[in-house]
Amino acid sequence: MEPLEILRNEHGLIRQFVDNLSLAGEKVADGERVPTEFFANAVLFAKTFADEFHHTKEEYVMFVRLAQKKGGAMDGEVESLRHQHEHARGYMSAISSALNGYDEGNPIRTSDILENMGAYIVMMRAHIHKEDHVFFPMVADEFSDDEMAQVKAEFEKVKEKAGGEKFEEAHKLIVEMGSILQHMN
């Protein structure tokens, strides 16, 4: 599988994750009690798959090479994408911090989860759209076959370092999150 196809497939999984978050947010806003396990799984997915696996490929492989290739002309845009990744980490950290209070029924912690989840959802949808429709086509136009092969080799190193089958593990989390929401009805 080619690097851009890999990233787009991962974006598909992250979009499913965001859709699950959106549904959970609607349920909580309607007064339903989404199990804490759902949010714990969300934090785990965001940390182990989106952040440590997917964003590592983008930030430390793809974006670096694109910025170098453009001779600094893309530094602002690349930094903006990295900044959004940092915001995503912050939102998930706030959700994680609110889990104990949410589990105890604390309305302030429930509000913390809803606010951070809402911000994460909006930002990630726009972020993925920008990467898929602006940055990835730019990479496809700018990178030679040899450069893409180098990116692919770097992606393999990230995968080896992460250990295991991160995509498959993340997919299982998404299915489990969806199952938790379905069994609420």
Render pLDDT for 138-164 as a digit per residue (tens, 0 to 9).
Answer: 999 999 999 999 999 999 999 999 887
Is the model's pLDDT at 73 over the cut of 90? Answer: no
pTM across the whole model: 0.93
159: burial class by Cβ within 10 Å (0-12, 13-18, 19+)? middle
**pLDDT the model gives residue 185:** 64
pLDDT confidence tier of residue 64, bands split at 50, 70 and 90: confident
**If residue 70 lies in a helix (H) or strand (E), which one and from where to where?**
none
Q: Are 160 and 47 in contact (CB under 8 A)?
A: no
3-class SS of residue 63 = helix
d(CA 107, CA 86): 26
pLDDT confidence tier of residue 55, bands split at 50, 70 and 90: very high
CA 127, 147, 10, 44 dihedral sign is negative
pLDDT confidence tier of residue 1, bands split at 50, 70 and 90: confident
d(CA 170, CA 148): 25
3-class SS of residue 106 = coil
What domains are there in the chain, each with its CATH number?
Answer: 3-182 (1.20.120.520)
121: burial class by Cβ within 10 Å (0-12, 13-18, 19+)? middle
